[in-house]
Amino acid sequence: MTRRPTDAQATPAPHRSWSALSGDDVLQELSSTPSGLRSGEAEDRLRQYGPNELSFATATPWWLVLLRQFLSPVIGVLVVAAVISAATDHPVDAIAISLILALNAALGFWQERKAEADVRALQSLSVDTCRVLRDATEHVVSAADVVPGDVVLVESGERIPADMRLIEANALRLDESMLTGESVAATKRSAAVPVDSPSGERSNMAFSGTFVTSGRGVGVVTATGARTQLGEINALVQGPAGQGPLQMLTHKLERRIGLIVLVAVTLVFIAGILTGNDIADMFRTAVALAVASIPESLPIVLTVAMSVGVSRMAKRNAILRTLPSVETLGSTTVIASDKTGTLTQNLLTVERIWTPDATVDLTGNRDAPASDSPTVKAVLLTGALTNEAARGGSHSDLSGDAVDVAMARIALEFDVLDEERRAESPSAHMPYEPDLRYSQTVRMNENGERTLHVKGAADTLLSMSDSLARHSGLADLDEELVQDANKRMAADGLRVIATAARTLGPDEDLPSPLPTPSGLTFLGLQGMSDPPRADVASAIRACQQAGIAVKMITGDQPLTATAIAKRLGLRTDVPPLTGAEMADLDDDALTQRLAEVSVAARVTPQDKLRIVRLLQAADHVVAVTGDGVNDAPALKAAAIGVAMGRSGTDVARESADLVLTDDNFVTIVHAVEQGRVTFAAIRKATFFLLSTGAAALLAMSVNVVLDQPLLFLPLQMLWINIVTNGVQDIALALEAAEGEELKRPPRARSEGLLSRTLWYRAGITAMWMAGAILVVFTWALETGMPEVEARTFALTAFVALNFFQIFSARAQYRSLFQLNPLGNKPLLFTSVGALLLHWGAMQWPVSADALGITPLSPWQWAACFAVGSSVLLIVEAEKFVRRWSHRRDRIPAPAR
């Protein structure tokens, strides 16, 4: 049985100043010793604090998810209609309505029961076993049994089992990118740090789930399970997911429709009773009115439109995990993007080489003649030889420390040395020591002489050098010249590594270990950074043109983040926001600051989550991109989370709504465009359904008030809603783009599912169609037509009105006559097919008897088409007037 800590077994309250205490003080606070806990004490603490595991929320029971599908007001009205139909001995109507309810519930149930793997993916970061000191002896124990106060031993290749305060660190470096977003491994030390240091700068702390890239260390456990930083992220990920705009708009529309229909049905039922109609007949009328008014096929249309959008996005390397996300992207107003691995390549690359005689800028020019200069060649050679990167099957297949990999790659790329020479064993070697800030190695040069190569921090190597390498030979050391170059490169956000060398005399012996170098010749500097991905800058410009703000949110240093932001075209005239600054700002002040900045640096997962929530509170639709564990809470809380499919962690992918299979920010722009196309299709289909549904509601309401025979039977309304306009409406959801989707600003959230223009258009066409139906029905009755024939005449006129209304809905602004008639072949085929199906139902006695209809003469069909085409003329006239008014009043749009 998996153990879980109870509330009484919570881990100790987090001690925010662990990093500020000395190692001895930490051991004393935790009642531990350098030789570890006693076994009995460890068992007692395990019972007290519980296992070192993450707890997960219980999934919602399936029956509760199913029940939720029937809580919508629209569905409630249909349930009542089905019950009334069954009670009044109309089983065909009851069965038809029940089938609609079942289909809608199945779709909703399937979407809600998707796997909750976003939290489960955190288990992939758990550690099976680890080495601890207990009873002054090293033991291998289950990581779940680690307790606060345990002394843990770690070395290269291992994952940290719990949050620890390091008491020993020997060349220890940890990959903390999952928490901080930094691509460079963090160097760890055992010395205390200032009490107010942010988590990314607590160099004496090792956090649960991070990975040891090199070195070894000893740490005392300060937090386990839910109290670790990974546990805090787990708690944030398990919070409620953000709700997309389409979901909110659809629910709002459903509530409105349900309320309007319920009120209308009640009033009509009461009016019918007061005018002397039979109660049973009025029940049936109420059912017909409810069925006529409610767009039963809307859930199907939404699903089809979003599914088509998902399919189109998949062809462009964007995989949607939830259907509503396809529209949410189109509504996005802010993209809050992680830097490392999302906007950048998550790969350190040498971008600039400086020597006293030459500066080689490799940004966007990897073919620069770097090896033509002897001094540049010397810089690259020393960087490659003083190096511990391991090579696989190709130049690009290198592993090890990110700095070593970058320096080895650039040397191999420009053929400064061959692989055989780089692989030669040095006669003496000292790997990089963080405390010393340099590494050194002794190699044989081409002349058979031994050369001491050193690389490290610029100020460190300057203190070891007494000359400067130039084309013309050695020159006096010019520290000011080197420091100026170093500062310029650092100001551009580059990580700077200096190189120096000295030829050893034939009789010069170096003791082991190698002593501190001296008498070196300073060679030059290599500046490296994690470069932006190709085409990201142009993608950001496209977002800005579409009215979408792009904000970089990263755990990296402000200077580095600003340098990358400048290269990407983001706003950098305002100082970046930092996590430390956020801590001093209340929500109102931070919201104002967020409106000004494009870069947030040195932020924690909690900071990212706060940023997303404040942006959404400011009425923004926020899309968050990222690839690390630190991005997971914000990914889930955002309206839509976008994760990298290749380089991203399982946690990020499972927390996201959209996964990019090519890890390319550019793909997001394509997804935004398709999202807008999808929403436009949904909007057109909704307009059609609401206008025809409102026409039926208005026509039948007036029909009852006029005390006429029932205009339409319930089954006839189901026939129209599902077989004719339902099939056509689904085809309308396949409508392609009108063009210029990315040249318009995002839709205002206050606008609703339909724009004001479409609400107005739906209103005038609904009244026109309702009036036309009533005129046809009244005229037919007054000319002596039998009631069945008059009802069929009116029903067919309504079918014709639907036929022309669906084509007028293909474009919101453009004229129907400007569109390609074959631009949406499924719509054309289904519309014509619906007319043929309606005609066939009239001719077949069985279906005609079931529906209560009869065949019409050719002249009656012609009259129905004449009436139906009138709605197309109304819509085209309204579009023309609106376009003419817009051209007359148009002023230049403000620059974005």
Spatial distance between the Cα atoms of 92 and 144, rounded to a whole number of angstroms = 61
Q: Given 93, 150, 338, 607, which residue is catalytic?
A: 338
657 catalytically annotated: no
> Encoding tokens for residue 707?
């005390």
Amino acid at 520: L
Residues 6+ apart with CB under 8 A from 278: none
Spatial distance between the Cα atoms of 479 and 476, rounded to a whole number of angstroms = 9
Nearest-CA neighbor of 702 among 762, 594, 777? 777
> Strands 450-456 and 438-444, how do they pair?
antiparallel
DSSP 845-882: HHHHHHHT-----HHHHHHHHHHHHHHHHHHHHHHHHH
The four Cα atoms 884, 885, 889, 893 give a dihedral, to 10 degrees, of -80
Q: Identify the sign of the CA torsion 339, 340, 343, 344.
A: positive
Q: Helix, strand or coil for residue 759? A: helix
Residue 138: Cβ-neighbour burial (10 angstroms; 0-12, 13-18, 19+)? exposed
Query: For 607-676, where are the E strands, in sequence order?
Result: 622-626, 640-644, 658-660
Helix residue ranges, H only, 153-278 = 177-180, 229-237, 245-274
Spatial distance between the Cα atoms of 714 and 91, rounded to a whole number of angstroms = 11
Spatial distance between the Cα atoms of 228 and 208, rounded to a whole number of angstroms = 7
Spatial distance between the Cα atoms of 270 and 790, rounded to a whole number of angstroms = 26
Tell me if 257 sits within 8 A of 691, measured CB to CB.
no
> Encoding tokens for residue 703?
């029909």
Tell me if 638 sits within 8 A of 612, measured CB to CB.
yes
Tell me if 149 sits within 8 A of 45, measured CB to CB.
yes
Residue 16 DSSP class: T
Burial 781-793 (b: 16+ CB within 10 A, else e): beeebeeebbbbb
Spatial distance between the Cα atoms of 378 and 475, rounded to a whole number of angstroms = 15
Q: Helix, strand or coil for residue 159? A: strand
Active site residues: 338
